[in-house]
Every structure is written in structure tokens, then in C-alpha cells.
Amino acid sequence: MSKSYEEYLSQAGNVHLAYYLEAADILNIKYTVLVHGLMAKFESNGKHWYIINTVTPLTNTPSTTIAKRKNLTNTVLSHFNIPVPKQITLRSKQEAMQFFREYNNIVIKPSQQLGGIGVSLLPKNKKQVFSAYESALKVSKGKGISKVIGEEFIEGENYRLLVLGNRVIGIVRRKAAFVIGNGKDNIEKLIKEKNIERKNNLLKPILIDNEVHQRLENLHIDFHYVPKKGEEIKLRYNCNLTTGGTTQECFAQTHQYYKDIAVNSVHAIGTQFGGVDIITPDISQPAKCVVNEINYNPGLRLHYKVTEGEIVKVAIPIQEYISKII
């Protein structure tokens, strides 16, 4: 009798590791959770490997460092003629303001951070630019002067393409956190209700941070605003699942052009596995696009917790791949 995800989660103590345990059972791979909530050992055909949280044996130290530091990712991909947004290091609020004046539509984010924390998109004035810079600086894990990045904002939808070896094994469209009005509750209450729903689905809540405040300010509303019935209020631009986003599976609609870009991007930084974030106005045909970043330790929930389309159990091919090359 197969276990439920909740049982694997209880056993693993970690939302991502649970998917790898499930895949191991399906593939008859032996496993032992060595540190609850963190690490498991897997064994097959006399070989063994470890997965720590989301980190697999498929990424090496140089590629991990490149992926973690968004400015290095941008530099490397540019070297391989892979489309990326214009990007510079911001060393002060004044430099952030200068970048804003030059490009108008910009993103300000930490040079090193996970889950979209500290990312601010499309600040509209000096106050918002300064606030965005301070927010990114506060949470940045970057070293030296390269703590905050300014980036050209590219119009389009955000997609995560999961690359394994020479192929893409999962693709999702990522939608930013939003609420839909019922004509009686304000935004604050709608967020609370949606967060209860997200908790029941084992998802992190909609994060209320600088970007959400900035977004509402740009819409000329606040948390007390009562949306009309059926009115959708997009709360942020950032699409991360960890900040309240949702995902829709869209492998069949994706043109080979984007799959090739994703595979080439992962190979460019010198690894075999990664989550490539691509921004494009149309995933079904070649169009102007950019690679926003590469995740060396991509979370798997995006592919398992889709709100539309089929669940793709990506941990299975990942475990198969590891067992063959380890």
C-alpha cells in the first residue's frame, strides 16, 4: 500500500526531501533519513548518495557559486550569448536612483538570496527606489560591495524550466500572489483566508513585505480596500511560491526554443541540473525573452503543487539519473 505525501513529509521532516523519498520507494531505492528535516542517504546497486534539503549530488561547487550569485549568472550567460536582462551592481541608494532614471522600469534585488526575498519590481518614484534598495540590502547574503543588483525589467510571464542532463523534465508558469474579491471582504481579510487555504495545502503564506506595500500604493489602494466580486488584485510582481505565488503546468505548450535555452543555460554554468527561470510574453513560440536566474537547488513543489494541469513527479527521473551516474 503506497504512502501519502503527508506520511513521507512526516518521515522526512522536509517538504522537498519528502518527494525524493517517495521517488525512491517507486524506484526501489533504499533510503535512510539521517537527519530529520535535513538529510537522507540513498542506496542502489552498491552505490550511495545524499540529498540535503533540495541539494543533490548533481551540482558542483563552481556552478553552485555562479547560480547563487545572480551577478555571476548574468555574466556567464552573457558570455555564452544567452539572453539576459541588463544588470549592474548598486552600491548606494543614489546609484539605484541613477539606474532608475536610465531604465525607468527596473528590478532591485539582493545579489544573493533565495525565494524572492528582498526583491522589488517596478518602483515608481524616489521613495520607492530608496525603500527597494534598503529592503534588498537588509536581506542580501552577498559579500563585499556586490550586495544589491539593479536589473532591467522585462515584460512577460515567468516560467520555471527544470533541466536534467540534456532535457527538460518539467515546466510551470508561475503566477504572482493575488486575491479575488467577493464584494464584502477587504484585501487584508482576503489574504488571511487565502493563507489558511495555502497552509492546508502545505504552502507558505502570501508574504506581506515592501513589494506588496509598493504594489498597493501603485494601484492607489490599501489593505482596507474591498474588491468587487470577481475582481482580481495582483499583490506583487514576484512569482515565487514561497511568497504566495501559484503555478500552472505547461510542458505541452512550450516551444522547443525555450527548452534549448534552458538546457544551454544549465550547461553554461557547468552543471547537469537546475531550475531555469525564463521571462517571455509567449511560451508557445519564439519571442524576445531573458533568463532571469538559475536555481542550483530547485524546489520541487512548483511541479507537485500546480493549480492547473498535471502533476509531474520530477523527483523520479532525478533519482533515476543520480543512480546511473553516481
Q: pLDDT exceeding 70 applies to what percent of the chain?
A: 99
What pLDDT, on a 0 to 100 scale, did the predictor assign at position 241?
A: 83
Residue 115 has pLDDT above 70, yes or no: no
pLDDT confidence band for 12 (50 / 70 / 90): very high
Question: Check: CATH 3.30.1490.20 for 86-153?
Answer: yes
Q: State the pLDDT confidence band at 1, using cuts at 50, 70 and 90.
A: low
Nearest to 247 by CA among 312, 176, 314, 174: 174
**Domains of the chain, residue spans:** 5-53, 59-83+155-176+239-326, 86-153, 180-236
Fold match between domain 59-83+155-176+239-326 and domain 86-153: no
**Digit-coded pLDDT (tens) for 116-141:** 788 888 898 999 999 999 999 998 88
pLDDT of 93 over the 90 cut: yes
Digit-coded pLDDT (tens) for 157-190: 999 999 999 999 999 999 989 999 999 999 999 9
Which of the listed CATH numbers 3.30.2350.10, 3.30.470.20, 3.40.50.620, 1.10.10.10 matches domain 59-83+155-176+239-326? 3.30.470.20
